A and B are shown apart, each in its own frame.
Chain A
Amino acid sequence: QVQLVQSGAEVKKPGASVKVSCKASGYTFTSYGISWVRQAPGQGLEWMGWISAYNGNTNYAQKLQGRVTMTTDTSTSTAYMELRSLRSDDTAVYYCARDDRYTYEDWGQGTLVTVSS
């Protein structure tokens, strides 16, 4: 069965960076993209961007352009999302999801990133 296993919770200071990993199993990693979606406490879902696991092409949400980088390591079937210059409003649960033409059938368990001084 498909599994997406994310790295653990992080606490960061404002201005720092965070890198969240998402290890995939149970499917051919390079046949699908990975999207990242975040959810601030008590709020809705926000799409952050997408990466093709086939060729590394990316598409980021405009509001995060310049602060976010998504990468993949096909040798370990792992996707990464790095967010820089963290602010308090980046505090959220970050999810990776297997992206099948922008439909998310499988999700990671979520990674809580807390930004606090």
Chain B
Amino acid sequence: DIQMTQSPSSLSASVGDRVTITCRASQSISSYLNWYQQKPGKAPKLLIYAASSLQSGVPSRFSGSGSGTDFTLTISSLQPEDFATYYCQQSYSTPQSFGQGTKLEIK
């Protein structure tokens, strides 16, 4: 099974900051990597698919990059509504697996 490891587990930042979250796969997953945002009490929301493709309706301040085993999610200028938990997920092989999550908090 493929293990997904995110870092950091939590992050404090301010509105307007540039933030980067990393995700590492235990083996190569090509570009089969998705990013989700989850707010308390809500279902996850797809932000980025195939490592770098922006889901329709998602603000352009979100971007993704990487391939193989190392990936990043970048938020170029944090907005108040971006404070949430972010998960990466590999869609390369079953069982699909998620990272443990990165909680983004207001500094």
Q: Which residues of A contact B (CB under 8 A)?
A: 35, 44-47, 50, 59, 61-62, 95, 101-105, 107-110
Contact B97 A47 (CB under 8 A): yes
Residues of A within 8 A of B92 (CB): 102
Docked complex Cα distance between A107 and B99 (Å):
18
Chain A residues closer than 8 Å to B43, beta-carbon distance: 95, 107-110
Residues of chain A within 8 A of B44, CB atoms compared: 45, 95, 104, 107
Q: A45-B87, A95-B43, A110-B43 are in contact. Are A105 and B55 (CB under 8 A)?
A: yes
| B96 contacts across to A, CB distance below 8 A | 35, 47, 102
Interchain CB contact under 8 A, A103 and B46: yes
* Residues of B in contact with A (beta carbons under 8 Å apart): 32, 34, 36, 38, 43-46, 49-50, 55, 87, 89, 91-92, 94-101
Contact B94 A50 (CB under 8 A): yes
Please indicate the chain B residues that have their CB under 8 angstroms from the CB of A46 in the complex: 98
Beyond A62-B95, A104-B44, list 13 extra A-B contacts (CB 8 Å).
A45-B36, A45-B38, A45-B87, A45-B89, A45-B101, A46-B98, A47-B95, A47-B96, A103-B50, A104-B34, A104-B36, A107-B44, A110-B43
A contact residues around B38 at 8 Å (CB):
45
Give the docked Cα–Cα distance between A104 and B49 (Å): 9
Contact of A44 among B87, B94, B95 (CB under 8 A): B87
Q: Are B98 and A44 in contact (CB under 8 A)?
A: yes
Whole-angstrom distance from the CB of A70 to the nearest CB of chain B?
A: 14
A108 to B97 alpha-carbon distance, docked (Å): 19
Residue from A50, A104, A109, A110 in contact with B46 in the complex, judged by beta carbons closer than 8 Å: A104
Residue of A nearest to B6 (CB): A44
Knowing A104-B46, A107-B43, the reply to whether A45 touches B91 (Cβ < 8 A) is no
Expressed in whole angstroms, the Cα–Cα distance for A104 and B48 within the complex equals 11
